[in-house]
Chains A and B, each alone.
Chain A
Amino acid sequence: MGSVKAELLRLWKWPATWVLIGVWLVMTLTFGYLFNYLALNGGTNTRDLSQQQLISAMQPENVGAAVVRGLPMFGGAIILVLAALAVGSGYGWGTWKTTLTAGPRRISAMAGTLGALAIIVVLLVALTFVVNLGAAITVASVEGWDWSLPGAGVLEPLAASLLIAAMWTGFGVFLGVVTKGPALAVGLGLMWAIVTENLLRGVGSLLGPVESLTKVLPGGSAGNLAGAVGGSGAPGVLTDLGGTTAALFLVGYVVVFLGAATLLKVRRDLV
């Protein structure tokens, strides 16, 4: 518990945590509500979305879908950056050395970092939900729509959001430990999340095996899970796999990323 408390204290007071959460919240509001609202009120709709689709996307009862659809790509990239920075920076600042000589076992120290990151990520998803719900209620009230609060069904997209966020967190942690620094970890992570998987999807249209592979890569699995629980109309959201299959792949990635990172952390010399 001491390790979680320590990590939470330092992540809570880290400006980067709040800058990244803030950027994500602005993005989700801008792309999820502001642009849709402007399109609905005289903008040019270039995505061939009907008015009814735009209204539906902004309805408070559909806020779960609004949360999950941003996470496979851009939200995931932000979470990955947060995790990679949280772990990788410790090498540059020398804080891993301080941490590992403080007393806890290496595995406990790592568990502390993961526990604190988990709390931050749950908070991020919760804030995304609350902010999106607030925006949806505001738009619905201003437009005079009939609206209702989301029911228990919202738990499914929220659980999917958490699983997607956990996968990107694990990926960031893994990169931070492997590269032993923040810069390369963030660079590689962003390239993977935003560039590499999209390029592979492009190649996939020419090569069947590559196309099959892209569906189960980290971003692909995240996109498929988002698609399966109602997320749509955002980059990275896919509908090639069933929700259970995509979720199982994501669980596998979480286990592999965190397992490999912890094993490396425990066994590798800190020089």
Chain B
Amino acid sequence: MIVTTEKLTKRYGDRAVVDEVSLSVRRGEVYGFLGPNGAGKTTTIRMLLGLVRPTSGTASVLGEAPGTPRALLKVGSLIEGPGFYPYLSGRDNLRVHAARRGVGRPHVEAALEQVDLVGAANEKFRRYSLGMKQRLGVAAALLGQPELLILDEPTNGLDPAGMADMRDLVRALASQGQTVLLSSHLLGEVEEICDRVGVISQGRLVAESTVEQLRGDTVLLIRADPIEKAHVLIEGSSLHGDVLHVRETDAGSLVRTLVHADVDVQEVRPLRRTLEEVFFEMTGVA
């Protein structure tokens, strides 16, 4: 495990912003940290980076205590938008960051290249578009070839093209074996990119598994005539109006059974819950 937390909790007064969160991120995976705004994602991430001290519980990042230089030097992060000096160019901002991380100039150029910002590297940061700012944030996170990349809402404020660019960038990094912890409230983004997902709601981790597991078993929808006869023939089916739902993946065998019994099969298709439906169910957000 690259990241583990055990009952990690942060309270402000009586309010638990993060409440006994126990999660784990494996090496080489893209872990989606999913939750509505204000669910506690950023506070959890800030605790993993040592920016916020936990009230109780423990966390380990690459085998080190969060926020220690040994941990931070192996982690690249972009938390709630990029924080750079507006009067410096993108390249100079990275040089400043590289000096703090103890890495040389070649790393700066490599990072700029990786996020496709070489052409705009000498422009002042304040003149960058939102997408360019986010990409510079990712470039800073990549300095020093970290073992773990933590990206908190990296597509926030981006237009659809910028979001697609960012997703492509994360995908490219993942394909190179980079471990990524990606926090987001955008379900499509997580569904598209992530191997495993942790869902946080009101400070509590309500689920942690693969996207497939979260969606649950595939249900087959069958429209047939007469539907009552089909209902009797297919064991374990449930009748929903004029269609049947069956927890069964062998559609061929079901259709053969119905056809041999002179049932007219009109439609058979898998019914899959989207991550969005699962998310709304778990978080109570509508």
Binding site for B on A (CB under 8 A): 2-3, 5-6, 9-10, 13-15, 93-105, 109, 112, 269-271
Which one of B72, B77, B100, B140 contacts A2 once the chains associate, using CB atoms below 8 Å? B100
Determine the main DSSP class of A at the interface with B. Answer: helix
- Contact: A102 with B46, CB < 8 Å? no
- Contact: B83 with A3, CB < 8 Å? no
- Name the distance in Å between A203's Cβ and chain B's nearest Cβ: 40
- Contact: A101 with B85, CB < 8 Å? no
A109 to B100, CA, bound (A): 8
- Please tell me if B196 contacts chain A, counting CB pairs below 8 Å: no
Which one of A3, A14, A93 contacts B100 once the chains associate, using CB atoms below 8 Å? A3
- Contact: B69 with A93, CB < 8 Å? no
- Contact: A100 with B51, CB < 8 Å? yes
- Please tell me if B162 contacts chain A, counting CB pairs below 8 Å: no
- Please tell me if B188 contacts chain A, counting CB pairs below 8 Å: no
- Contact: A94 with B101, CB < 8 Å? no
List 29 A–B pairs whose Cβ atoms lie within 8 Å, in order of A's numbering: A2-B101, A6-B97, A9-B92, A10-B96, A13-B87, A14-B85, A93-B84, A93-B86, A94-B82, A94-B83, A95-B83, A95-B85, A97-B80, A98-B82, A98-B140, A100-B49, A101-B51, A102-B72, A103-B101, A103-B102, A104-B69, A105-B68, A105-B69, A112-B100, A269-B46, A269-B52, A269-B53, A271-B43, A271-B46
Known A2-B100, A103-B100, A104-B69; contact A95-B84, beta-carbon cutoff 8 A: yes
- Contact: B73 with A101, CB < 8 Å? no
Q: For this complex, into which size category does the number of interface residues on chain B fall?
A: 20 to 34
Known A13-B92, A97-B79; contact A270-B99, beta-carbon cutoff 8 A: no
Which of chain A's residues have a CB closer than 8 A to the CB of B135?
none
Which of chain A's residues have a CB closer than 8 A to the CB of B81?
94
- Contact: A97 with B85, CB < 8 Å? no
Per the 8 Å Cβ criterion, residues 252-279 of B in contact with A are none
Which of chain B's residues have a CB closer than 8 A to the CB of A269?
46, 51-53
Which one of A9, A13, A97, A271 contacts B83 once the chains associate, using CB atoms below 8 Å? A97
Which of chain B's residues have a CB closer than 8 A to the CB of A271?
43, 46, 51-52
Which of chain B's residues have a CB closer than 8 A to the CB of A112?
100
- Contact: B79 with A9, CB < 8 Å? no
A94 to B83, CA, bound (A): 4
Which of chain A's residues have a CB closer than 8 A to the CB of B88?
10, 13
- Please tell me if B95 contacts chain A, counting CB pairs below 8 Å: yes
- Please tell me if B50 contacts chain A, counting CB pairs below 8 Å: yes
Which of chain A's residues have a CB closer than 8 A to the CB of B92?
9-10, 13
Determine the main DSSP class of B at the interface with A. Answer: loop
Report the nearest A residue to B10, measured CB to CB: A269
Which one of A13, A14, A102, A109 contacts B97 once the chains associate, using CB atoms below 8 Å? A102
Known A6-B97, A101-B49; contact A15-B69, beta-carbon cutoff 8 A: no
Report the nearest B residue to A15, measured CB to CB: B87
Report the nearest B residue to A9, measured CB to CB: B96
Which of chain B's residues have a CB closer than 8 A to the CB of A100?
49-51
- Name the distance in Å between A103's Cβ and chain B's nearest Cβ: 4
- Contact: B46 with A6, CB < 8 Å? no
Known A103-B72, A270-B52; contact A10-B85, beta-carbon cutoff 8 A: yes
Which one of B52, B86, B97, B102 contacts A98 once the chains associate, using CB atoms below 8 Å? B97
- Name the distance in Å between B194's Cβ and chain A's nearest Cβ: 22
Which of chain A's residues have a CB closer than 8 A to the CB of B96?
6, 9-10
Interface string of B37-53 (1 = CB under 8 A from A): 00000010010011111
Report the nearest A residue to B99, measured CB to CB: A6
Which of chain A's residues have a CB closer than 8 A to the CB of B102?
2, 103
Which of chain A's residues have a CB closer than 8 A to the CB of B52?
269-271
Q: Which of B43, B53, B72, B140 has the most CB of A within 10 A?
A: B72
A99 to B85, CA, bound (A): 11
- Contact: B87 with A101, CB < 8 Å? no
Report the nearest A residue to B42, measured CB to CB: A271
- Name the distance in Å between A270's Cβ and chain B's nearest Cβ: 4
Which of chain A's residues have a CB closer than 8 A to the CB of B87?
13-15
Known A101-B51, A269-B51, A270-B52; contact A96-B83, beta-carbon cutoff 8 A: yes
Which of chain B's residues have a CB closer than 8 A to the CB of A93?
83-86
10 new A-B contacts at CB < 8 Å, known A102-B72, A105-B69: A3-B99, A3-B100, A10-B85, A10-B96, A93-B84, A98-B82, A101-B50, A101-B79, A103-B100, A104-B69
- Name the distance in Å between A99's Cβ and chain B's nearest Cβ: 6
